[in-house]
Structure 1
Amino acid sequence: MGLFERFLTLWVALGMGVGVILGLVLPGLFHTIAALEIAHVNLVVAVLIWVMIYPMMIQIDWAAIKDVGKKPQGLALTLVVNWLIKPFTMAALGVLFFQYLFAPWVDAPSASEYIAGMILLGVAPCTAMVFVWSQLVKGDANYTLVQVSINDLIMVVAFAPIAAFLLGVTHITVPWETLLLSTVLYVVLPLAAGMATRYLLQQRSQHAVTVFVARIKPWSITGLIATVVLLFGFQAGTMVAKPLVIAMIAVPLLVQSYGIFFISWWGARWLKLPHNVAGPACLIGTSNFFELAVAVAISLFGLNSGAALATVVGVLVEVPVMLSLVAMVNAWTPKPT
C-alpha cells in the first residue's frame, strides 16, 4: 500500500475538519460551488467522483466479464441484501428510534421527515463510491462492475415503488434526470474512458496498463478526500447549528450500516464466496447512493427539511463507517498458506 492508502483514515479525518472550517470561513465559495449543478447533480462533485473511479475502470478486463455468470452467488447476495432487506430494515430502524426511543426529544413532524430521509438512503444502493471500496479490499474489478451495473438497472424500476411504499404515499416524484445523469457521470463516462485508455495502453504492452494505473492511483484517493472536503463544507453551518439532531440521526444509520454489513458477511461465508467477490458484495450493500437520496429528499420535502438533513447526515456518516468496514474486510482476508 502507498502512503495515501496506508494513512487514508487520517487524510479523511483531516478532510472533514478542513471542510467544516472552510465552510464556516468561506460560506460564499461553497454556495457558489453548490449552485453548479444540473438536475440536482453537483458538477464539481461529479468530476471528483470521476477522478476517483477512473483508475479502477482501467483495470477492468472485459474478456473476463463473461466469467461472472459462472459464479452468480455473489451477485445474488448483492441483490437480495440491497432490494429485499436493506430498505425495510432502514425504515424499521427509523420508526424504532424516532417514533419511540427518541420521541421525547423530537417533535412528530420532524421525526417523520427524518424517517423519510433515512428511507430514501436505504432504497438507494451505492453506485460510484463502491469502486473505491472495492479497490481498497482488492476486490474483483470485473465482478464489481457487473454488480453495480445490475443494481443501476434495478434502481431505475424499483426505486420509486419501494420508496413510495415505505414512505406511505401514492404519488412520489422521482427525479429521473438525476438518476440517469448520475449513472452517466459516475459509471458510463469513466467506464468509456477507462476502456479507451486500456485499449490504447495494451497496444503498447500489457505491462503498460499496470505501470499507468500505479502512476495515477493516488489521484483516486485524492478525489475521495476532496469530495469529503466539499461535502463537509456544504453542511458546515448545519453541523454546528444542530449537533444533537445530527447525533440522533447518526445512531440508527450506524446500526443499519454495521448490521447490513454483518448480514452480508454471514451470507458471503454461507455461500463460500472468495474474498475478492465477498468484499465488494458486502460493501455495496452497506453503502448508499447518497447523491440520489439527497436530490430526491430535496425534491420531495425541500432544501431545509428534516428529510434532506437526514440524507446529508448519511453522507457524513458513510465515509468513516466504510473505511472501518474496509479495514475489517482486509483484516479477515484469508492468509495464503
Structure 2
Amino acid sequence: MELVLASPASTVEKRLNLFERYLTLWVGLCMVFGVLAGRWAPGMVATVRGWEFGEGSHINLPIAVLIWLMIIPMMMKVDVSALRNVGSRPAGLAITLFVNWMVKPFSMAVLAWLFFRYVFASWISPSEADQYIAGSIILAAAPCTAMVFVWSYLTDGDPAYTLVQVTLNDLIMLVLFAPIIGLLVSGASSLTVPYHVLFYSVLAFIVIPLAIGTWLRWWLIGRYGQQWFEKNLLPRFAPVTIVALLATLVLIFAFQADNLLTKTWHVALIAVPILFQVYLNASLAYGLMWWRRVPYSVAAPGALIGASNFFELAVATAIALFGAESGAALATVVGVLVEVPVMLSVCRVCNSTRQWFRVEVPA
C-alpha cells in the first residue's frame, strides 16, 4: 500500500436517497399525524397502547413487532466473520471503541444531568428531568448499527473498517448495554431501573434479532451467494424498515399527544444536550484519529460511529422501561428527529477536512 495525499476534487458527489435525505421531515409529519390521532381518537389510541405482552410490562405488542421489522434486517448486515480482520486497523478501532463505550454514555449522562437539572430547571419539573436524563442516556448507550453505513459511504469511509466496527459494537452491546444504562440512569436520576425489564429488552431487541439476522445471513448466503444476498435481497428490506420506522413514530407520537401539546418547548430543550454530545464525541474521535495519524478512510467513519446512535434500539428500550408515553421515550424520539441534519453536518466537516489526513490507495 502507498500513502498519498487525498484530493478533495477527486471525490465523487454522493447523495442520500429520498427517505434518508428528508428523514427529519418524515419524522415531523409522523409527529403531526400521531398527535392528531391521539387527540381525535383517544379511545382507539388507548386500546392500542393497552396491547402489551403482559400486564405492566410496558412492552407494547404493535411497537415490538415494528421494532423487530426494523432491527432484524439491520442485524442481517452484520458479518461476524469480519471480526477476523479486527486487528488490521488497531489504532482506529481502539479510538472508536474508547469513544463509544468509555466516553459517549458517560458524557451524555453528565450533559443531560447538567442541562435538565440546572440550565433548564426553570422550565421543567424534577420528575420530567429524570425522564429526559434517562432517555438521553439510553440513546447514547446504543452505538449506531445501520445508518452509519450511509454516513461512511458519504465520506468515502473504508467499508471493511465500518463493518468490523459495527459488528464489534453489536457484540459488545450484548454485554455492556444493560449495565451502563442501569448504572448511569440510577446515578444521574432518581429513577429506579427495573433490571428484569432491561434484561428482557436486551434479550428481545439485541440477542434474538442478532441471532436471527446472523442465521439468516449464513443460510441465505450459503444457498444463494453473497452477491445475491447483498445486491438483491437486502435492498428489498428497505421499504419494510422505512414503513416500520414511520409507523412506530406515529404510534409513539399518538401515545405522547398530551405531552407534545402541552410541552412542545421541551422537544427543543431535549435536543440541546443531544447536539452537544454528538459534536463532542465526533470531534474527540476525529481529533484522536488525526493525532494518531490514522488514514482518512478510517478516521471519518470512526468519528461518525462515535457520534450517531442506534435509535431504533434506544426507542424500544425506553418504551419497555418507562412506557411509550414517558418522557424517556420522548427523549429518544428527539434523537431520531435530529439524527439526519446533525450527522450530515458532521459528514460535511469530514469531507472538507480530508486534506488533514493521508489516505490509503492501492500502489
TM-score by length of 2: 0.73
Question: Amino acid of the residue matched to residue 25 of structure 1?
Answer: W
CA displacement at 1:154 relative to structure 2: 1.5
Which of the residues 87, 95, 102 maps onto 1:84? 102
> Is the Cα contact below 8 Å between 2:24 and 2:340 reproduced in 1?
yes
Q: Which residue of 2 aligns with 1:50?
A: 68
CA contact (8 A) 1:156 1:179 kept: yes
For 2:235 and 2:188, how far apart are their aligned partners in 1? 44
Query: 1:187 is aligned with what amino acid?
Result: L
- Partner letter of residue 315 of structure 1? T
What letter is aligned with 1:148?
D
Q: Which moved more, 1:18-27 or 1:324-333?
A: 324-333
Q: Distance in 2 between matches of 1:3 and 1:87?
A: 31
SS in 2 for 1:37: coil
Q: Distance in 1 between matches of 2:245 and 2:49?
A: 17
Q: Does 1:14 find its partner at 2:29? A: yes
1:120 touches 1:297 (CA, 8 Å); kept in 2?
Answer: no
Aligned 8 A contact 1:54 1:190 in 2: yes
Higher helix share: 1
- After TM superposition, give the deviation of residue 235 of structure 1 in Å: 0.9
Match of 1:213 in 2: 234
* Cα distance in 2 between the residues matched to 1:327 and 1:279: 12
Per the alignment, in what secondary structure is the counterpart of residue 103 of structure 1?
coil
Paired AA for residue 58 in structure 2: H
CA distance in 2, matches of 1:113, 1:263: 30
Superposition pairs of residues 220-239 of structure 1, within 5 angstroms = 220-239=241-260
* Residues 270 and 334 in structure 2, CA contact (< 8 A), matched pair in contact too: no
Query: How many residue pairs get matched?
Result: 322
**Identity score, percent:** 29
The 1-side partners of 2:265 and 2:50 are apart by: 28
1:36 corresponding residue in structure 2: 51
> Structure 2: how far apart are the matches of 1:285 and 1:143?
14
Q: 1:66 & 1:247 partners in 2: Cα distance? A: 43
Mapping of residues 160-199 of structure 1, within 5 Å: 160-167=182-189, 173-174=194-195, 175=197, 176-199=199-222
* CA deviation profile, 1:65-84 (whole Å, cap 9, x unmatched): 31123324444334433443
Shift of 1:113: 4.8
Pairing 1:319–2:333 present:
no
Q: Distance in 1 between the 2:18 and 2:117 partners?
A: 45
* C-alpha deviation, 1:280, in angstroms: 5.0
Shift of 1:59: 3.8
Normalised by the length of structure 1, the TM-score is 0.77
Aligned residues of 1:120 and 1:296 also touching (Cα < 8 A) = no
Could you tell me which residue of structure 1 aligns to residue 13 of structure 2? none
- Is there any run of 5+ residues in structure 1 with no aligned partner, and where? none
What's the offset of the Cα at 1:193? Answer: 3.0
